[in-house]
């Protein structure tokens, strides 16, 4: 009987020790992936491909940005939007509990949902996860309003994604330097309540994604002038980044 009590005590202590080790060395929870299928159903192969890309991207990003939330929900849906300029995929970030990244994949992209997924899902995941780490989300904007701030935060996410996925999208590509410099002046002179849709998506004069493209230009200029990479710039506030870029 005594030996049994000693064995039970030993097993209990061993279990407590292993639990402590597990808590101390636990890895972040993987993304919670859900599929919204009211307007279009994903095939089993598409779900498998998407799941693989999301989880692989998440693990890669965590090595670059260890401060990401432990658990992130990624909710995907099929849409019929024209998203060709962003590779058929777009997204937005909301800081709920857990935080949610909403991804829309266009069935109208050449090659359909599968080709859009292969073309731009990884790029979009990198972009949106950067927003989470930066505190640039719909309900959790740590930097205040204004297109000049939006351009910097979106520019950081664009460059982060381009640098680490090797993929770039037409909608994020800056114009030539002389035009980009004029856009920087315009953006920095805007009132704090300037229309977000006009400057970040489609301007009344026909220009597209002025804020994104200008932000890309500013971040790359700051990188070139300062010698800092995009991860180092991501720790700075917008004013500091403008200064590093020479403004």
pLDDT at 140: 64
Longest Cα–Cα distance in the chain: 88
Cβ density class 28-45: b for 16+ within 10 Å, e for less: eeebebebeeeeeebeee
Angle CA 139–37–117, to nearest 5: 80
- pLDDT for the residue numbered 180: 98
Ordered per-residue pLDDT tens for the chain, 247 residues: 443 333 333 334 343 344 333 334 445 457 899 999 887 899 999 999 999 999 999 999 999 999 898 889 999 999 999 999 999 999 999 877 788 999 999 999 999 999 999 999 999 999 999 999 888 765 567 777 899 999 999 999 999 999 999 999 999 999 999 999 999 999 999 999 999 999 999 999 999 999 999 999 999 999 999 999 999 999 999 999 999 999 9
The DSSP bridge partners found for residue 73 are 32, 100
What is the reported pLDDT for 20? 39
| Model confidence, pTM | 0.86
**Which positions ≥6 away from 127 have C-beta within 8 Å?**
91, 157, 158, 160, 161
């Amino acid at each position: 009987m005594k030996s049994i009590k000693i064995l039970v005590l030993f097993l209990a202590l061993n279990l407590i020790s292993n639990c402590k080790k597990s808590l101390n060395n636990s890895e972040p929870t993987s993304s919670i992936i859900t599929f919204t299928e009211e307007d279009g159903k994903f095939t089993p192969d598409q779900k498998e491909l998407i799941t693989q890309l999301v989880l692989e991207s998440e693990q890669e990003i965590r090595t670059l940005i260890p401060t990401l939330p432990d658990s992130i929900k990624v909710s995907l849906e099929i849409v019929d939007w024209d998203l060709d300029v962003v590779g058929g995929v777009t997204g937005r970030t909301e800081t709920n509990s857990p935080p949610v990244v909403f991804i829309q994949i266009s069935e109208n992209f050449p090659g359909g949902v599968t080709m859009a997924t292969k073309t731009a899902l990884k790029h979009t995941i990198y972009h949106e996860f950067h927003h989470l780490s930066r505190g640039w989300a719909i309900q959790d904007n740590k930097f205040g309003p204004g297109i000049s701030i939006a351009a910097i935060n979106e520019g950081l996410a664009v460059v982060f994604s381009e640098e680490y996925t090797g993929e770039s999208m037409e909608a994020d590509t800056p114009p030539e330097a002389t035009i980009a410099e004029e856009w920087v002046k315009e953006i920095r002179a805007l009132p704090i309540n300037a229309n977000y849709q006009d400057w970040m998506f489609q301007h009344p004069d026909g220009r597209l994604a002025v804020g994104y493209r200008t932000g890309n230009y500013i971040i790359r200029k700051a990188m070139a002038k300062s010698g800092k990479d995009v991860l180092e710039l991501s720790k700075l506030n917008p004013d500091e980044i403008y200064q590093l870029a020479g403004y």
